[in-house]
Amino acid sequence: MEISTLAVVGAGTMGQGIAHVAALHGRSVRLVDVSEAVLQRALQTIAHNLERQVRKERITATQKEEALGRITPATDLEAAVADVQLVIEAVPENPELKAQVFERLDRAAPPEAILASNTSSISITWLGARTQRPARVIGMHFFNPVPVMQLVEIVRGLETSDATYETIYRLAEALGKTPVTVNDAPGFVSNRVLMPMINEAIYCVMEGVASPEDVDQVMKLGMNHPMGPLALADLIGLDVCLGIMEVLHRELGEDKYRPCPLLRKMVAAGRLGRKTGRGFYEYASN
């Protein structure tokens, strides 16, 4: 099946990035959120990011306008997905919220439509079991910022069919991404490796081993990382990092995945990183 029309549910950072890339590569996109204000901010961000690509001569002004013209904002989820071939769920990393969304999508989307999740850690098999179409449920894990990052983790649930997998793999390639196939395991590959490193970096700060700046400098200069783990945590969102660590700890049952108490404290205080203006570093408001 060739995907020409899709819906993206959730117009936050990841959802707007997925919509941007899909529209730029010729797909008609319904961008869905419960809030009209969130949708308008998302469209403004997409337009701004497309304009940046024009200035860098990566796309033309005509391509920018055509991409924006392919994105339709919507607050009515059921109507938005009624005739699409694919839905990509990109709501916050909350298992019960995602399950509720998948149950609604299963009722509203055409029977032949594929339901994909941009989850960074939650079981695709578990999400598929919330539907009557587990063979058509798959993980499509993009990375932030979506227009820049090349990787997409393609996650097969226990019941995901070969046809679904092949369709989504081809779509990822058509969107200019590099798909990598992973099995359905907590955190997949990316966050199974990344999040414990970030968590350990936070322990280093909590225990007074080094300042956030120095922890990041060690990893940048000593390990050749383009960004230190604490700056990266701020970019991802400390609430997202905590959620993923909780999934790893719960599902794998090992103390090495226990979220650092300082991470919990910062999330409780609302210091979530770039999106709130303060995490391990402070950020000027936009």
- Residues carrying an active site annotation: 120, 141, 153, 191
What distance in Å separates the CA atoms of residue 36 and residue 191, rounded to the nearest whole number?
Answer: 32
Token pair, residue 202, equals: 């936070």
Binding site annotation covers 56? no
**Do the annotations mark residue 213 as ligand-binding?**
no
Q: Is 57 annotated as a binding residue?
A: no
Amino acid letter, residue 13: T
**What whole-number distance in Å separates Cα of residue 266 and Cα of residue 279?**
7
Annotated binding-site residue? 144: yes
In degrees, to the nearest 5, what angle opens at C-alpha 134 toward C-alphas 129 and 137? 110
Two tokens, residue 219: 């990893």
Q: Does residue 13 have a known ligand-binding role?
A: yes
CA–CA distances in Å: residue 66 to residues 48, 50, 59, 62, 106: 14, 11, 11, 6, 30
| Residue 69 marked as a ligand binder | no
275 marked as part of a ligand binding site: yes
Tell the residue number behind the tokens 């060739």, with chain if given: 2
The per-residue DSSP string of 49-116 comes to: HHHHHHHTTSS-HHHHHHHHHTEEEES-HHHHTTT-SEEEE---S-HHHHHHHHHHHHHHS-TT-EEE
- Please check if 266 is assigned to a binding site: no
Contacts of 158 (CB under 8 A, 6+ apart): 125, 128, 134, 184
CA 142 to CA 252: how far, in whole Å? 23
* Residue 10 annotated as part of some ligand binding site: yes
- Alpha-carbon distance of 5 to 83, in angstroms, equals 8
Q: Establish whether 201 is an annotated binding residue.
A: no
- Tell whether residue 200 is among the known ligand binding residues: no
2 marked ligand binding residue? no
Please state the residue numbers annotated as binding site.
10-15, 33, 93, 98, 120, 144, 275
Please state the residue numbers annotated as binding site for NAD(+).
10-15, 33, 93, 98, 120, 144, 275
